[in-house]
């Protein structure tokens, strides 16, 4: 199962400059998602982080992973933001950054479901660049109905 940016926009409420998933290349409902973000020098955060040595902020690497988790959750339960639902990032544990993410990198995102109970999801996540781990984390998301 592959999702292009148009379908991703149906499953994530985020928009520029905060939509951080460009394509989904694999998805097994209730199990795993593999996606990526193409990191461009045109990203607005590179103007200040850091002007002479641009690095993608670690919190945005975590956010990209969380967005991939949200897509997997939405697809698994067959809901959409348009139906009034959102996935909130509610926690991250055991976060480790192993290498910087820089302009020109393709940030590969993988999330595996650890468990789900009453709309609270725990994922084992890994972000990598060219096969080299950039970040590992356990991410917790909560599905909520919003007005």
Is 52 among the catalytic positions?
Answer: no
User: In this predicted model, what pLDDT tens digit does every residue of 28-45 receive, in sequence order?
Assistant: 999 999 999 999 999 999
CA 82 to centroid of chain Cα atoms: 19
76: Cβ contacts below 8 Å, ≥ 6 apart:
29, 30, 113, 116
Q: Which of 14, 49, 52, 53 is catalytic?
A: 49
Q: Are 132 and 95 in contact (CB under 8 A)?
A: no
The whole-number pLDDT of residue 1 equals 59
Averages of pLDDT over each 10 residues, the chain, 147 residues: 93 96 98 98 95 97 98 97 96 98 98 97 98 98 93
**Residue 131's CB: how many other CB atoms inside 10 A?**
6
Report the distance separating Cα 120 and Cα 82, nearest Å.
Answer: 20
**Domains in the chain, ordered, with CATH?**
5-42+51-145 (3.10.129.10)
The whole-number pLDDT of residue 147 equals 73
Tokens of 83: 């139906």
Q: Which residue has the tokens 């897509």?
A: 71
């Amino acid at each position: 199962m592959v999702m292009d940016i148009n379908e991703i926009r149906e499953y994530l409420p985020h928009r520029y400059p905060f939509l951080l998933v460009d394509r989904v290349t694999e998805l097994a409902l209730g199990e795993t998602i593999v996606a990526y973000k193409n990191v461009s020098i045109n990203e607005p955060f590179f103007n200040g982080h850091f002007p002479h040595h641009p690095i993608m902020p670690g919190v945005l690497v975590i956010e990209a992973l969380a967005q991939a988790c949200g897509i997997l959750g939405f697809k698994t339960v067959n809901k959409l933001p348009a139906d009034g639902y959102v996935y909130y990032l509610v926690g991250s544990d055991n976060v480790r950054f192993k290498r910087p993410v820089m302009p020109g990198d393709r940030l590969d995102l993988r999330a595996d479901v650890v468990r789900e109970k009453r709309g609270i999801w725990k994922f084992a996540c890994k972000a990598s660049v060219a096969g080299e781990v950039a970040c590992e984390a356990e991410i917790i998301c909560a599905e909520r109905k919003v007005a």
